[in-house]
């Protein structure tokens, strides 16, 4: 008697790989890199993804800043609307930096009511398209070996204060 089993997979491997090159080839105007704005820390919203390494936001952090590692296709209990996060941060006078963990052209092209571009990890800089590899290196550059485990990284005076996953934690101790 022979038993066989099979497994099928529908969808993409987003979250494991970033698809930056694929999206860059099909939608090159979506990305913005080597920008003067990242050099001067002057950011405005233009529906483009600014490709950065972890040193860029670290240099630009305000006295109270929140870096949100956003998963565009996330549907879990710790997945939040970018507009809601921005509203909370504005109310608490916290500077918000949104960094896409991986790339989804459709989700990244939507018009969000945010005040600066969504950032994307520059996979060419980190020489990997595997999310776990480049995100780990990005977080290491950003937090100087103080890598948090949450999707939200809260900085006070340019130093990582804490990390968390729940949106209601934004208002704690800021």
| Number of domains making up the chain | 1
Provide the pLDDT for residue 77: 86
Residue 2 placed within a domain: no
Residue 1 placed within a domain: no
Provide the pLDDT for residue 9: 35
What is the residue range of 53's domain?
A: 20-167
Residue 66 placed within a domain: yes
List, for residues 27-60, the tens digit of each pLDDT value. Answer: 777 777 655 456 667 777 777 788 888 988 888 8
Residue 3 placed within a domain: no
**Per the confidence metrics, is the pTM higher than 0.85?**
no
Provide the pLDDT for residue 65: 94
Residue 174 placed within a domain: no
Q: Which residues of the chain have pLDDT under 50?
A: 1-16, 36
DSSP line for the chain: ----------S--BTTB--HHHHHHH-GGGEE-S-HHHHHT-----S-EEEE-THHHHHH--SEEEEEEE-TT--STT---HHHHHHHHHHTT-EEEEEESS--HHHHHS----SSPEEEE-HHHHT--BHHHHHHHHHHHHHTT---SSSEEEEETTEEEEEES-GGGGGTT-
Provide the pLDDT for residue 156: 92
Provide the pLDDT for residue 1: 47
């Amino acid at each position: 008697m022979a038993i066989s089993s099979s497994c099928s997979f529908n969808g993409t491997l987003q979250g494991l790989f970033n698809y930056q090159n694929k999206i860059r080839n099909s939608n090159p105007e979506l990305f913005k890199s080597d920008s003067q704005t990242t050099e001067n820390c002057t950011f405005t919203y233009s529906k483009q993804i600014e490709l950065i390494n972890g040193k860029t936001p670290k240099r630009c952090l305000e006295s109270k800043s929140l870096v949100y590692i956003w998963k565009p296709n996330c549907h879990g209990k710790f997945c939040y609307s970018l507009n809601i996060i921005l509203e909370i941060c504005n109310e608490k006078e916290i500077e918000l930096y949104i960094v896409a963990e991986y790339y989804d052209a459709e989700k990244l092209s939507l018009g969000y009511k945010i005040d600066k571009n969504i950032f994307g990890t520059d996979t060419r800089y980190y020489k990997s398209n595997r999310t776990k590899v480049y995100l780990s290196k990005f977080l290491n550059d950003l937090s100087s070996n103080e890598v948090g485990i949450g999707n939200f990284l809260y900085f006070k005076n340019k130093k990582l204060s804490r990390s968390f996953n729940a949106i209601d934690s934004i208002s704690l101790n800021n």
